[in-house]
């Protein structure tokens, strides 16, 4: 009889990140919802608030993602920022200094979230690792009669 046994028997020291397509789907849905809520509450005349909200969303998604998901996350957030958070809504435009800055902000937020998560997970994994303490071997002067 064959019995399947998992090769990893102990707890994983560092959790696995979420798959990239799932992160991008969350970025798509989250950016769409965030921009819709911001447009309904404050209007399209405050892109700085939308940039801040989308940067926080990128950083939050970066916590659960791989580094390779950061450019796509930033691009999806930028598409919703550029397409629906600034007038005219539904039209993609490219204003070189502004949009470059927005893309850099969103990419930096996604990478910072991922880097922070990896550092905290590595620190937690390092703290979970225990070293075995060997019993103390007696040195020549450790016995009471060695004086």
Res. 84 pLDDT band, cuts 50 70 90: very high
Rounded Cα gap, residues 68 and 71, in angstroms: 7
What sign results for the dihedral spanned by CA atoms 107, 63, 37, 22?
A: positive
% of the chain at pLDDT higher than 70:
79
* pLDDT above 70 for 85: yes
Average pLDDT over residues 16-35: 96
Rounded Cα gap, residues 119 and 78, in angstroms: 26
Res. 35 pLDDT band, cuts 50 70 90: very high
Q: Angle 70-84/20-41 helices, nearest 10 degrees?
A: 20
Average pLDDT over residues 103-117: 96
Question: What is residue 23's predicted lDDT score, i.e. its pLDDT?
Answer: 97
Average pLDDT of the chain, as a whole number: 86
What pTM did the predictor assign? 0.78
Could you list the beta-strand ranges (E) of 1-147. none
């Amino acid at each position: 009889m064959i019995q399947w046994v998992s090769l990893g028997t102990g707890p994983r020291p560092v959790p696995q990140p979420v798959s990239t397509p799932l992160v991008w789907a969350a970025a798509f849905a989250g950016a769409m919802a965030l921009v819709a809520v911001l447009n309904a509450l404050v209007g399209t005349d405050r892109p700085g608030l939308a940039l801040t909200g989308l940067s926080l969303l990128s950083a939050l998604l970066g916590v659960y993602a791989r580094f390779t998901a950061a450019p796509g996350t930033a691009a999806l957030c930028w598409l919703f920022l550029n397409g629906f958070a600034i007038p005219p809504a539904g039209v993609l435009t490219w204003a070189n200094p502004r949009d470059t800055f927005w893309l850099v902000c969103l990419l930096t937020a996604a990478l910072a979230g991922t880097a922070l998560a990896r550092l905290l997970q590595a620190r937690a994994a390092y703290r979970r690792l225990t070293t075995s303490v060997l019993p103390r071997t007696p040195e020549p002067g450790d016995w009471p009669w060695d004086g």
